[in-house]
Structure 1
């Protein structure tokens, strides 16, 4: 068929078809005599795919990659691009919700008796802007895609060297087992593991009969996780815009991931965790991570690290944001949870949060 017939069949403009051709997304054959383009059923199918992906807001660059995955018959690769787009849409939706909440708070302030203090509106707007920037500014500075192939080996090596001055994964097994013990999943319960990596914590929950979903920002980590735990649901995503509907899970866990977020981002992450938890008395949160007990502990530890000469320890303090245990528990209390914690070594803690009675 010619371009007008193709446009009519698809319900799009001929101009759009020409645009997709200019971008190299389709390559229709040309008649030898007059050079007119001829569109086959395969071209129509490809245009339908492009139109569908554009409808969900996917960029032309990502559409190009997605079509390449389709051409290679790589269903998993296509799914990853769709999940990435879904994560983008969720992030936009969450930001819109926050804007609506801020607007409603401004309306409520305006309705109060007496003259409106404009500074309150300014403070609200500033807070909203700060949190928006915190969500937008997160990025993976550690390139976990490249680390995925050796991650489990690194954990195994690191956790067995208790004599090292600094080890991210010292007492790793003990901490994960504590998470499982405190969550105590009931068979059939739904759980979310944020920053699941290769699925080590989620796998322990699966063994207890939980229906586990893991998210991570690293495609390669998730590919390893799928290989290790094919029964597990995995999706691309991160703490700041969880790609799930409200009230989706019975419990949420995370291990060795929360400290990748800055302080404002940690606040956003706790709000997102609460959003996807079911509002029941049995919902629970369990975070296992390296933390300072308080600011005094952080200062003492930082001073010691500065004189120790341990380059890995010093780099970790520069690049990561180990939360303050007391501050984390206070934030969870403010959200309506009771907390308890267990200390595994100088930095590593497991924190459990359950709804207040």
Structure 2
């Protein structure tokens, strides 16, 4: 096929196809007689793949990397590339959502007061900038990819701060009060040890983790758990997806300001009437600060001590725990 035929078939332009050639993503053969480009079905498939990945927001450099993985049948590598792209798009979407909410706040102030004081503009804009900075600061400072191969052995041996690991996971499961067929999310799922308890109780489970190696081990152990690359500050899900959200031994890795942004994300993906349960080493001041924030957002929190250092923060939207 000639370039014009390919462009018409794929509803694109010859200019676009030539750009892909210039960037090294395509190398169609040239006819020996007239030196025109001759596109094979494999070339057409490749162009279609490029167009699809561009539609998903991937840049041309990353597309070249993804196509190489695809052609080498490196499914795990390609999956990871696509997951990273999805995580990036979620962050961009959340930032745009924050801009929209900031604009909405300005409009609401203007309608209520018939004016828009500069200090109110500065306040709304600063909040938007602050959340953007916090998301931008997220990096893997803890090396969980390197820790993943020995994680289960270390928690079983109660090493590295995991002395009460099983006890905390049991308490989170108990206080969450799971019901069969509910859909739950485990943030910082690791190798899936907490999520497995809910899976065994008949719940459908999803899990988010920043560590590729942790997720690989989780999928190997528990193929029925849906896993996604992500973190507390940008959960790769739309609003109101889950009946409950849980996390263990992960919340402590966030800063105080990131705690509140993480709570916003957890509440965003919870269904109306949903519940969240955080199990970790949080001091009393931090527990009180988080509890007050949850109360302001129509959640009724309670704190339960597991031992001298570990605690559970459980909250249900709109009702007291005893009534849930």
How does the TM-score come out when normalised to structure 1? Answer: 0.84
Q: How does 1:334-349 map to 2 (within 5 A)?
A: 334-349=296-311
Work out the CA distance in 2 between the residues paired with 1:122 and 1:205.
Answer: 45
The DSSP-based 3-state class of the residue aligned with 2:245 is strand
Residue in structure 1 matched with residue 66 of structure 2 by the alignment: 66
Structure 2: runs of 5+ lacking an equivalent: 320-324
Residue in structure 1 matched with residue 266 of structure 2 by the alignment: 273
Shift of 1:200: 0.9
Deviation per CA, 1:299-356, whole angstroms, max 9, x where unpaired? xxxxxxxxxxxxxxxxxxxxxxxxx122122222222111222223443222111123
Residue in structure 2 matched with residue 330 of structure 1 by the alignment: 292
Work out the CA distance in 2 between the residues paired with 1:148 and 1:196.
Answer: 12
Work out the CA distance in 2 between the residues paired with 1:116 and 1:24.
Answer: 52
Deviation per CA, 1:273-302, whole angstroms, max 9, x where unpaired? 11111102xx210111121222xxxxxxxx
The DSSP-based 3-state class of the residue aligned with 2:236 is coil
Cα distance change, pair 231–113 in 1 and its aligned pair in 2 (3 A): closer
Residue in structure 1 matched with residue 201 of structure 2 by the alignment: 208
Q: How does 1:132-151 map to 2 (within 5 A)?
A: 132-151=132-151
Q: Which has the higher contact order (CA 8 A, sep 6+)?
A: 1
Contact 2:171-2:306 at 8 Å conserved across structures: no
Cα distance change, pair 335–220 in 1 and its aligned pair in 2 (3 A): same
- Which region of structure 1 is more displaced relative to structure 2, 192-201 or 25-34? 25-34
Contact 1:186-1:209 at 8 Å conserved across structures: yes
- Which region of structure 1 is more displaced relative to structure 2, 39-48 or 285-294? 285-294
Work out the CA distance in 1 between the residues paired with 2:105 and 2:93.
Answer: 18
Work out the CA distance in 2 between the residues paired with 1:9 and 1:116.
Answer: 53
Residue in structure 1 matched with residue 30 of structure 2 by the alignment: 30
Shift of 1:226: 0.3
Work out the CA distance in 2 between the residues paired with 1:220 and 1:30.
Answer: 44
Aligned pairs, how many? 319
Instruction: Please tell me whether residue 223 in structure 1 is matched to residue 216 in structure 2.
Output: yes
Structure 1: runs of 5+ lacking an equivalent: 162-166, 295-323
Shift of 1:259: 1.9
The DSSP-based 3-state class of the residue aligned with 2:314 is strand
Contact 2:184-2:205 at 8 Å conserved across structures: yes
Residue in structure 1 matched with residue 241 of structure 2 by the alignment: 248
Shift of 1:252: 0.3
How does the TM-score come out when normalised to structure 2? Answer: 0.92
Shift of 1:87: 2.4
Deviation per CA, 1:112-137, whole angstroms, max 9, x where unpaired? 34754321211111111111111122
Contact 2:106-2:116 at 8 Å conserved across structures: no
Shift of 1:23: 2.5
From 278, 281, 288, the counterpart of 1:287: 278
Q: How does 1:65-144 map to 2 (within 5 A)?
A: 65-113=65-113, 116-144=116-144
Residue in structure 2 matched with residue 6 of structure 1 by the alignment: 6
Work out the CA distance in 1 between the residues paired with 2:204 and 2:257.
Answer: 31
Shift of 1:235: 1.1
Residue in structure 2 matched with residue 169 of structure 1 by the alignment: 162
* Runs of 4+ in structure 1 over 6 Å off: none
What's the C-alpha RMSD, in Å, of the aligned pairs?
Answer: 1.9
Instruction: Please tell me whether residue 238 in structure 1 is matched to residue 238 in structure 2.
Output: no
Contact 2:109-2:115 at 8 Å conserved across structures: no
Cα distance change, pair 141–51 in 1 and its aligned pair in 2 (3 A): same
Contact 1:138-1:261 at 8 Å conserved across structures: no
Work out the CA distance in 1 between the residues paired with 2:204 and 2:185.
Answer: 9
The DSSP-based 3-state class of the residue aligned with 2:120 is helix
Deviation per CA, 1:225-275, whole angstroms, max 9, x where unpaired? 000001111111111121112111100001111122222222111111111
